[in-house]
Amino acid sequence: MAALRKRSKKVAWGVVLALVLAGVFGAGGAGAQVSFGELNAVPACIGGVQTQDCAYGQAELPPAEAVAAEVRHLETVLPAVAALDIPVYTVRQRCSLPGLGMLAGCTLPGQNKVYLFASPRYASYTVGVRKGEANVERFAPYLAAYAVAHEFGHVVRYQLVDNRTLQEYLKLRGAAGADAKGWTCHPEEIFAEDFRWLFGSEKARYIPYLCGIAPPGEKEKAFLLEVLAGE
């Protein structure tokens, strides 16, 4: 799961009506499409979570075009991901886990679906000053790209990477004893964060690497590319 962390940049809250498109997006390639849908409520299969309505309405949803762009990016970079044809559902409810806070998204073991939840952070802006002029940018595309890349990492692990390979990877990563270090360093979270960091778009990497260890590098990327090429 992807938890939302406080960002150090100044964030101003605002409300914007986002045009969110439901349906199926053409992915630019012959026959390649991004499977995309919207749900009104968190599905019952996601147990143990607390839900909340969106105070800012549609502005709290991940922008559909940003979701589709990140999916297309990952499918272009990794044919094995394109072959999984992972459907993405945005959910018009906030979703929290006690002790973890608000979730950006989740996947379920054994399924290849990705759920992205509403969040007030999608309605926020990053504010900076460049050459004396205020630069205001909606934060939503970055958060959407982050959530897609991280959750796709979980699906790739469930569908394409077996336990033995994960252990080999963690050893290479210098994180073989990661279990004891808390949830952000749980092996599954390391894998998902590494996947985002290594294969996500520039927008997906706008949010810092969230596990409590150094981000992965070229040797980790080469290992995963070899594993995924074998699929």
b/e for 46-85, b at 16 or more Cβ within 10 A? Answer: beebeeeebebebbbbbbbebbbbbbbbbbeebebbbebe
Smallest gap from Cβ 104 to Zn ion, in A, equals: 9
Name residues whose C-beta falls within 8 Å of residue 70's C-beta, 6 or more positions apart in sequence. Answer: 144, 145, 148, 149, 200, 201, 203, 204
Q: Residue 185: how many CA atoms within 13 Å on its side-chain side? A: 15
Smallest gap from Cβ 41 to Zn ion, in A, equals: 21
Name the site residues for Zn ion (rule: CB under 5 A). 1-2, 189, 192
Nearer to Zn ion, 156 or 228 (CB): 156
Smallest gap from Cβ 126 to Zn ion, in A, equals: 23
Nearer to Zn ion, 185 or 228 (CB): 185
Question: For residue 104, which of 91, 113, 85 has the smallest C-alpha distance?
Answer: 91
Smallest gap from Cβ 206 to Zn ion, in A, equals: 17
Smallest gap from Cβ 49 to Zn ion, in A, equals: 14
Residue written as tokens 């979980």? 154
231, with CB counted inside 10 A (0-12, 13-18, 19+), is middle
Residue written as tokens 């979701």? 67
Nearer to Zn ion, 27 or 105 (CB): 105
Nearer to Zn ion, 75 or 189 (CB): 189
Nearer to Zn ion, 69 or 210 (CB): 210
